[in-house]
Structure 1
Amino acid sequence: MPRPAPGVERTVALITFLSQHPGRPFGLSELARRLEMNKATAHAMLATLSDAGWLLRDPEDKTYRLGPALVAVGDAAAGSGRQALELARPHMRRLSDELGVQAVASSVMGEDILVLAVEGHAATPVGFGSRPGNRVPLSPPLGTVFIAWSDTETVERWLRRLSPRPDDHRLAIYRDAIKTIRLRGYTVALDDDRHHSLARALRTFAAGDGDAEVRAAVERVIQARGVDDDYLLVDLGGIESYQLSLIGAPVFDGAGRVCLAVTLAGFPHRLSPQQVVPYGRRLTAATTAITREIGGRPPNQAGS
């Protein structure tokens, strides 16, 4: 097992912390306290990163924020995802204007879903994921819009994040839900009183600055909202109307991978099963157009 590199870990923690608070400057003392390091170490790290342009230091109030050199780093890392995001924004604005909902773009970063952009204003409050930079754990049942089009190994790795270890019946429910979502082309999640507790947990996660104990506690709340308790709406029939939390659909790159998800949230009223389908079709028409514009293709067409 590789030996830990404390200096690297502290740098990653700092950049992650500042990215979770975009636009907000922090002084040396507060950063040292929030990141649990001594001020001398923090000062040396801040000075080095400022010299490199990764941070900007305000000479008057002596605070720090992310610097312009990270833009080039982000562009290099984003690749097709950045191009997809730029092309997605006009589609997201049209979706928001036409449907009266908020449109959110997100991608996977490590073990989290990262909100990249938000267009429009929700008619009803959005519990989480409504601000660029927000992170949501990629933990079942969250993230099906990314997982449903993944290979078997990725799906199984996602399912292994379930705790406690699920039995075969519960795993079968998840796998059937994933197949249905892939065939339908979009994922649908419900909003109810239990969703509010999930939203509170995710707000706690966003403010937790990567704390391992906070992550573990939030993932327990997420997994309490399993696919088998109707958080994910798999069967669109049988109930008169639904209050939706979100509808999400994928954008694919040239290799058939999901490089971006576009999600509709903040629905103003309950929808009948017959009304849900047009929302999904309008969304998938937009994500299909974005996929085409970036030269992408769904997995079953990749490489053809």
Structure 2
Amino acid sequence: MTEAAATSSARRSPPTDRVVQVLDHLVAHPETRFGLSELARRLGMSKPTCLGILTALTEAGYLMRHPADRTYGLGPALIVAGRAAQRGFAVGPVTHRHLAALGAEFGATCAASAVVGDRIAVLDVAGADPDGAGARVGEVYPFAPPVGLMYVLWDSDERLEQWLAREPTLPVRLDRDRLRDVVDECRTAGYLVESLTAGGRRLHALMAGVAAHDLPSELRELLGEMVSSLGERVLLTGAEPADAEHPVNLLAAPAYDADGRQSVVLTLHVGATLANREIARRGAALVATAEAVTRELGGRRPAR
């Protein structure tokens, strides 16, 4: 063995290699959850060794364990780690720069979020947050009805139907006529307007960090009473007079990747009552920001 090879071998840590092996496997299958036996078999580890690694990674938040079927998947701590690493690449600085400019223009909090595996993750936050009620980097939400419409809204109808087919996190009624109106108006305008309701904000806070179906059935039913149908919190203002007013929680618009698919959703938080003309002004600014992010990252808007 050469001196260089001996030095390389001496520096390796088999226990660390096994931890990396587990993470690499789960990152390579982000939409799949694995049980202990299957994961140990696939990776050629003993079950006690694999369990020790899974337990440590779960306690640190890098993995999440489903309480019902005891399977493991990627956890929210990886989002924070990825967000930190993102600073050295194009997406982080580009998105943050544009969000900061938009937030400064309106004195508001802006955020970027995306679907990561089977969760929605907050990737970046910029701008003012006077009430401390804005999104926080690393927060995760279940990507299943009724949560997540804006992450498929501007994508293909096929992606929308795939999301609708996911087992809902909460009991919810599907009003397809209402949903079609929401899709048509938001795609035409290029942005979504979400109403501000006390119940909606409480629901959003309760769902932060909660995996789908982790809630007891009684609590799921109670929360479900707060959401009667999909898209009910989306304001449709297209046919209203310019001076009509609405309490607005936030506006959202998509940035696209090179294939013309939604990659990131940008949001501009409002938390106030606005006239439709002001909603439209902020919506146009948000869309312009999303288009600038799309162009700088080499993306393109889809052809409809």
TM range (shorter): 0.5 to 0.7
Counterpart in the other structure of 1:6: 36
1:18 pairs with 2:60: yes
Aligned pairs for 1:37-52 within 5 A = none
1:97 pairs with 2:127: no
Report 1 or 2 for greater relative contact order, CA contacts < 8 Å, sequence distance ≥ 6.
1
How far has the Cα of 1:221 moved from its partner? Answer: 2.9
Aligned pairs for 1:114-263 within 5 A = 114-126=121-133, 130-161=135-166, 162=168, 164=171, 166=173, 170-203=175-208, 206=209, 208=210, 210=211, 212-214=213-215, 217=219, 221=223, 224-226=226-228, 230-236=232-238, 237=240, 240-263=244-267
Residue type at the aligned position of 1:173? R
**C-alpha distance in structure 1 between counterparts of 2:144 and 2:222, whole Å:** 10
1:277 pairs with 2:280: yes
1:288 pairs with 2:291: yes
**C-alpha distance in structure 1 between counterparts of 2:123 and 2:290, whole Å:** 16
The 8 Å contact of residues 92 and 119 in structure 1, kept in 2 or not, is answered as yes
**C-alpha distance in structure 2 between counterparts of 1:244 and 1:194, whole Å:** 14
SS at match of 1:299: coil
How far has the Cα of 1:273 moved from its partner? Answer: 0.8
Aligned pair count? 243
**C-alpha distance in structure 2 between counterparts of 1:3 and 1:228, whole Å:** 27
The 8 Å contact of residues 141 and 223 in structure 1, kept in 2 or not, is answered as no
TM-score normalised over the length of structure 1: 0.66
Bigger CA radius of gyration? 2
How far has the Cα of 1:116 moved from its partner? Answer: 0.5
SS at match of 1:198: helix
How far has the Cα of 1:269 moved from its partner? Answer: 3.2
Change in 2 beyond 3 A, CA 1:4/1:278: closer
Q: CA RMSD in A?
A: 3.8
How far has the Cα of 1:95 moved from its partner? Answer: 0.8
**C-alpha distance in structure 2 between counterparts of 1:227 and 1:263, whole Å:** 22
* Larger displacement relative to structure 2 (133-142 or 214-223): 214-223
How far has the Cα of 1:261 moved from its partner? Answer: 1.1
The 8 Å contact of residues 191 and 243 in structure 1, kept in 2 or not, is answered as yes
Change in 2 beyond 3 A, CA 1:297/1:218: farther
Partner deviation per Cα, 1:230-282 (whole Å, 9 max, x = no partner): 411123526832221110111101100111111011x2531011110000000
How far has the Cα of 1:160 moved from its partner? Answer: 2.5
The 8 Å contact of residues 257 and 299 in structure 2, kept in 1 or not, is answered as yes
**C-alpha distance in structure 2 between counterparts of 1:226 and 1:84, whole Å:** 37
Residue type at the aligned position of 1:247? L
Q: Structure 1: where are the runs of 5+ without partners?
A: 22-30, 37-65
How far has the Cα of 1:180 moved from its partner? Answer: 1.6
**C-alpha distance in structure 1 between counterparts of 2:213 and 2:127, whole Å:** 33
Partner deviation per Cα, 1:64-119 (whole Å, 9 max, x = no partner): xx79xx769x96xx8xxx63332111111111111011010101012221000111
